[in-house]
Amino acid sequence: QHDPAQTLARGQAMVQKIIDLLLTNPKFTLYGPKTASGRVGTVSFNIEGYSPQEAGSVLDESFQIAIRPGLHCSPYAHRGLGTFPDGAIRVSPGHFNTDEQLATLLDALQQLAS
């Protein structure tokens, strides 16, 4: 009963908010397009001072946020990005995430990059 266009628009809006935050701080390295319209619902990045695995542990243990750190079954893509062997952090907001959950993620990322 969900309108696919509305679902896509909501997902892209969440992705854009994450991208906008990442572009405000040089401690974040964003991979891929700088707009949500060029993406399929995921954002990949790294945070200076943290391996993707360390950032994932902190987000999980301190903020109860689940992200996906690592190579994401794409080691050759990560070689091309220069992120091999650790990979990157991948965030995938979805239709069922709330605005409050997104705000928690954005706040947590700001804290990690401060």
**Residue entry with tokens 């990059």:** 113
Q: Is the pTM of this model over 0.85?
A: yes
Q: What is the largest CA-CA distance in the chain?
A: 44
pLDDT tens column, 37-57:
988 889 999 999 999 999 999
- Which residue type occupies 106? L
**Residue entry with tokens 């909501």:** 10
| 16 burial type by CB count under 10 A (0-12 exposed, 13-18 middle, 19+ buried) | middle
pLDDT tens column, 53-75:
999 999 999 999 999 999 999 99
Helices (H) and strands (E) in the chain, counts: 4, 4
Cis peptide bond N-terminal to 52, omega within 30:
no
